[in-house]
Structure 1
Amino acid sequence: MMIRNLLTAACAAAVLAAPAVQARTAPAQVTEASVVLKDGTYQVAWKTSRPGAPVDLYVSGSPSAPLKAMRKLADNDTDGAAAVTAAQAGAARPYFYVVADGAKTGLRAATRVVPLEGAANFRDLGGYATANGKHVRWGQVFRSNGLSALTDADYKTVGDLDVRLVCDLRTDQERKTQPTVWRGGKAVPVFLNSPKGALDMDMRALFGAGPPSAEAVRANFIGFYKLMPDAYADEYRAMFDKLLAGDAPMLVHCSAGKDRTGVASALILTALGVPRPTVTADYAMSETLLNTADARRAMAAGAKADDPNAAMFARLPPEITRVLMRTDPAYVEAALEAIEQKYGSVEAYLDKVLGVDAKDLAALRARYLE
């Protein structure tokens, strides 16, 4: 009897242990992947659900290439990183794919910033993780500052992105001051321009009465962000209509690529289910990319073209310019919080103001997530 009881207990223990054994033998998964371009070399890094698990590394010039169309760069790599030269990458903008041995799917990764000579803030909204574990597709939505200074080499790079639609959130005055002359690429994209003749608010409204102070300008700038979701509702509605129609790859830009474009990008990422901390982190990135001195020179050029706002900006003291050129997370948070206070949620704003309902959100996520 004792022996039979011992055998029964042993069998039960073996059954209980079986799931743990199966879990240990299940294929590892790539949980994170990133790419940084440094000194002409792509530094690819990744993490797996089981540290040290072997992975295969692939590359392609297309953000949506199937595995069979990619080129293998590394086999059974276990150290979590790889250095890939531009020659090895073989594309002006390479997209990497990291997959663990035995796993059915892996993660794509690319540089966040598209390096250009004439636009410091041109970047890809792909790769961000959503709340349900999916990721925004790479190479579908780009954001940037003005394009008037792009070089021939830049247009070769941008042309390879196959941009089909450019949402230009600048005013007619800004386009006159710094026109975009698109060249190169497979075809000239369609331009969706803001119908505004000039900025809705006079820049002088940011400074208040008396000598301007950095504190007062910051507070007034936050007030401007609170107004932006309604002030640019027509432009954002048209942008989402094009996203729903599949008019991508799409490029959204304004002059600095941080304010009107920053709110537009925040709305896109939120609609796709990207968590708020990631949304604000993407917004804040512009500050590290934009050069304030370059911005002042651009505004000086606008002043010569009789743009009153540009002329005023060019004369501002540096401490005021820094406030206006910042991408303080509080700025975009002010826009999103204003939406929530007025409409209840960003999703309600998308529905009631931009005409993007729950069915549309599902369609967007099916198209732009993987």
Structure 2
Amino acid sequence: MNARSRWIDLDGAVNVRDLGGLPTTDGGTTRLGRVLRSDNLQDLTTADIRILVDDYELRDVIDLRSDAEVRLEGPGPLTRTPSVTVHNLSLFAEGGRHTDVAADTEAQSDEVDIDKVLPWQTRPDTAPAHDRSISHYLGYLDDRPDSIVAALRVMTRPAGSALVHCAAGKDRTGVVCAFALEVAGVTREAIVADYAQTGERIDAILARLRASTTYAEDLDSRPADSHVPHAYIMEKFLARVDEKFGGSQEWLSAHGWADEDTNALRARLLD
């Protein structure tokens, strides 16, 4: 890992970084090697797995993909690693074998709603681009508060590290990581910067997604520069959470998050 950038270079994933080293409002920093974030883990090599398990003591994977994505893409090689537990915590309102937006018919059971999975900013719509992304992010809160709370609780486990991922490692992963960092007391500026940092790897992320039939057709219809995660998206999303719910901590508390959860997460993430 580059200590300055926090990137973790792997062969089978391109948007992997450590949430350690981020400044907190009280002058501290988050701990390295406790929570990692990533794009899809389908292509991890044996060497990649060795790095994650041996160097980062990876013990828990938080998979935010929908049921349909897991079926279409496969569960990934870490499910075959005995020391790692994979937690499937979709941020969509799953309905049996269907995604949140697919009709309840057998023929559509493996459809993936790309607007939800990859809410890129340039799909034609009457609303401004950033408003559409924020709406999708708020939709994660409406659809699956249980998954978000469960994901943060996995991060509090005392042994090893946890890794959270989705398809691109940008949107669903970005929302969950932002909430975790808010609980830890990381500065808003640093949370936004971490979200935007995915833009440094956007070309490589898109190349990986285009290699998958699950995502390729939709991505091929739009230019690469339209997919950049702009800082103002996360800034405005968190501002909306503040306005609508009183902040991320208050939203979590309304969905079963307790003081002991906060203490446990801070103990794990903070120096």
Q: Which residue of structure 1 lines up, in the alignment, with residue 143 of structure 2?
A: 231
User: In structure 2, what is the Cα distance between the partners aligned to 1:193 and 1:244?
Assistant: 17
Q: Which residue of structure 1 lines up, in the alignment, with residue 78 of structure 2?
A: 182
Change (3 A) 1:240 1:297: closer
Instruction: Give the C-alpha shift of residue 132 in structure 1.
Output: 1.3
Aligned partner letter, 1:350: L
Is 1:165 aligned to 2:60, yes or no?
Answer: yes
Change (3 A) 1:329 1:200: farther
**Structure 2 counterpart SS, 1:120:** coil
Is 1:302 aligned to 2:213, yes or no?
Answer: yes
Q: Which residue of structure 2 lines up, in the alignment, with residue 363 of structure 1?
A: 264
TM-score normalised by length of structure 1:
0.60
Is 1:337 aligned to 2:233, yes or no?
Answer: no
User: In structure 1, what is the Cα distance between the partners aligned to 2:115 and 2:37?
Assistant: 27
Instruction: Give the C-alpha shift of residue 150 in structure 1.
Output: 1.3
Structure 2 unaligned residues grouped into runs of 5+: 102-112
User: In structure 2, what is the Cα distance between the partners aligned to 1:133 and 1:329?
Assistant: 23
**Structure 1 counterpart SS, 2:11:** coil
Instruction: Give the C-alpha shift of residue 142 in structure 1.
Output: 0.6
Looking at secondary structure, tell me which structure has more strand per residue: 1
**Structure 2 counterpart SS, 1:246:** coil
**Structure 1 counterpart SS, 2:163:** strand
Cα displacement string for residues 118-177 of structure 1 (whole angstroms, at most 9, x for unaligned residues): 111111101112111222111010110001111222122122122111000001221123
Candidates 282, 299, 312, aligned match of 2:194? 282
Aligned partner letter, 2:249: E
- CA RMSD of the aligned region, Å? 2.9
Looking at secondary structure, tell me which structure has more helix per residue: 2
User: In structure 1, what is the Cα distance between the partners aligned to 2:147 and 2:115?
Assistant: 24
Matches of residues 79-98 of structure 1 in structure 2 within 5 Å? none
The structure number with the bigger radius of gyration is 1
Candidates 21, 25, 29, aligned match of 1:131? 25
Q: Conserved in 2, the CA contact under 8 Å of 1:145 and 1:257?
A: yes
User: In structure 1, what is the Cα distance between the partners aligned to 2:159 and 2:126?
Assistant: 41
Instruction: Give the C-alpha shift of residue 333 in structure 1.
Output: 2.5
Cα displacement string for residues 225-282 of structure 1 (whole angstroms, at most 9, x for unaligned residues): 2322232312111112223343541010001001000111111111000010000001
**Structure 2 counterpart SS, 1:121:** coil
Q: Which residue of structure 1 lines up, in the alignment, with residue 86 of structure 2?
A: 191
Aligned partner letter, 2:59: R
User: In structure 2, what is the Cα distance between the partners aligned to 1:364 and 1:297?
Assistant: 32
Q: Conserved in 1, the CA contact under 8 Å of 2:67 and 2:99?
A: no
Aligned partner letter, 1:181: P
User: In structure 2, what is the Cα distance between the partners aligned to 1:347 and 1:183?
Assistant: 32
Cα displacement string for residues 177-212 of structure 1 (whole angstroms, at most 9, x for unaligned residues): 322012887x431111025456545446879xxx93
Is 1:122 aligned to 2:16, yes or no?
Answer: yes
User: In structure 2, what is the Cα distance between the partners aligned to 1:183 and 1:361?
Assistant: 29
Change (3 A) 1:260 1:194: same
Change (3 A) 1:356 1:297: closer
User: In structure 2, what is the Cα distance between the partners aligned to 1:297 and 1:125?
Assistant: 23
**Structure 1 counterpart SS, 2:78:** coil
**What is the percentage of aligned positions where both structures have the same residue?**
31
Which structure would you say has the larger RCO, counting Cα contacts within 8 Å and 6 or more residues apart?
A: 2
Change (3 A) 1:248 1:263: farther
Q: Conserved in 1, the CA contact under 8 Å of 2:209 and 2:216?
A: no
Q: Conserved in 1, the CA contact under 8 Å of 2:53 and 2:59?
A: no
**Structure 1 counterpart SS, 2:77:** coil
Aligned partner letter, 2:183: A
